[in-house]
Amino acid sequence: EWALRGAARIVKEVKNPVTGEITKHVITRGINDFKFCQELGDGSYSTVVLATSIHDPFKKYAVKILNKAYLVRQKKVKYVNIEKQALQRLNNSKCVIKLFYTFQDEQSLYFLLEYAPSGDLLALMKKHGSLSEDCTRYYSAQIIDGIDYLHKHGIIHRDIKPENILLTEDMKVKFTDFGTAKILDKTNVNGNNEYDLLTRSNSFVGTAEYVSPELLNDNYVDYRCDIWAFGCILYQMIAGKPPFKASNEYLTFQKVMKVQFAFTAGFPLIVRDLVNKILVKDPNKRLGVKDIKSHFFYESIPFNILWDLPPPPIG
């Protein structure tokens, strides 16, 4: 059954500036309210296209378009619903791409998403080869704070990688691609009604280079798989390449399982120390979010005003 249907009905409250009176207008938004422009990206099950609203040409959106017949044939309908549900739960977040509307026509499903004009983290790293220590600190601090936010809202992303981390105009990170997320329900944890982040989920393999050893060895992951991926990205920002990379997936998996990686020449000692404490095979011995944030590498980062900090010069 499709969870996504037809045009979106939006109730807009308009306040009269003189009388203060509030009137409610019901507007409907369908695919015809948007003008499609150039393609932004191409995934395995979707295409993302830049679009503007015909009512306000300065408003830009990234429209994720999914072919219904293809989703059904490939048995991926479930993932579309997970993505919608996860984005709706996280919709007030600084660190997640906003979902504005969803609708569909005969052929396709449409997700009207916030447009991130500065591209993704992979493109940023490729353009500059690698990032400076200051840039690494700035972007990685946002990523770990974002992961903390997802987990506090009961969402495990499970496929965190540089392609899924987009950048806004003022260079703030935004997570996207929640199709393979694990959405937790609140349960009784030690007498409290909260998300049990240690709930084991299985069998989903993200992207080879960022997959955690526990998934390959024991076929399970919990929230700590996102922290492992964070460690891989932290390494990559400095080194310019992910820590576990081989000529094929099988060999990459071998390296991950053995936690076989080496630091590049000139890799700063302070970042080495942090990476060494995150890329640990046993998830129980892996550094948690709190200890990562209080690592000496982030000494100069005021996490309480993190999202207001200006980006350092790129390089």
Radius of gyration of the chain (CA): 21
Per CB under 6 A, the list member of 34, 49, 51, 62 interacting with ligand ADE is 62
Q: Per CB under 6 A, does 166 bind ligand ADE?
A: yes
| From 81-89, 112-120, 194-202, 246-254, span contacting ligand ADE (CB under 6 A) | 112-120
Amino acid of residue 297: F
CB closer to ligand ADE, 97 vs 233: 97
- The verdict on 97 binding ligand ADE (CB under 6 A) reads yes
Q: Is the backbone of residue 6 left (phi > 0), alpha (psi -120 to 50) or beta?
A: left
Asked if residue 165 binds ligand ADE (CB under 6 A), the reply is no
The amino acid occupying position 183 is I
Told to check if 268 binds ligand ADE by CB under 6 A, we report no
The answer to whether 287 contacts ligand ADE (rule: CB under 6 A) is no
Find how far residue 51's CA is from the centre of its chain.
21
Helices (H), 67-189: 68-73, 77-89, 121-128, 133-152
Neighbours of 15 (CB within 10 A): 10
**Interface with ligand ADE, residue 109, by CB under 6 A:** no
Coil, strand or helix: which one is 212?
Answer: coil
**What 3-state DSSP class applies to 128?**
helix
Site string for ligand ADE, 3-42 (x = CB under 6 A): -------------------------------------xx-
Site size toward ligand ADE (CB under 6 A) is 11
CB of 45 to ligand ADE, least distance (A): 13
Pick the catalytic residue: 120, 145, 148, 159? 159
When CB distances to ligand ADE are compared, the closest residue is 62
Q: Smaller CB distance to ligand ADE: residue 143 or 166?
A: 166
Burial 60-84 (b: 16+ CB within 10 A, else e): ebbbbbbebeebeeeeebebbebbb
For residue 135, state whether it binds ligand ADE (rule: CB under 6 A): no
* Distance in Å, CB of 35 to ligand ADE, minimum: 16
CB of 296 closer than 8 Å to CB of 272:
no
Spatial contact of 149 and 118, defined as CB atoms under 8 Å apart: no
Dihedral of the alpha carbons of 245, 257, 166, 270, in degrees to the nearest 10: -90
Beta-bridged to residue 233, according to DSSP, are none
Is 222 catalytic? The answer is no
Of the candidate residues 48, 144, 237, 289, the single one contacting ligand ADE (CB under 6 A): 48
Q: Does 175 bind ligand ADE (CB under 6 A)?
A: no
Q: Please report, as ranges, the residues that interact with ligand ADE according to CB under 6 A.
A: 40-41, 48, 62, 97, 113-116, 166, 176
Instruction: Please list the active-site residues.
Output: 159
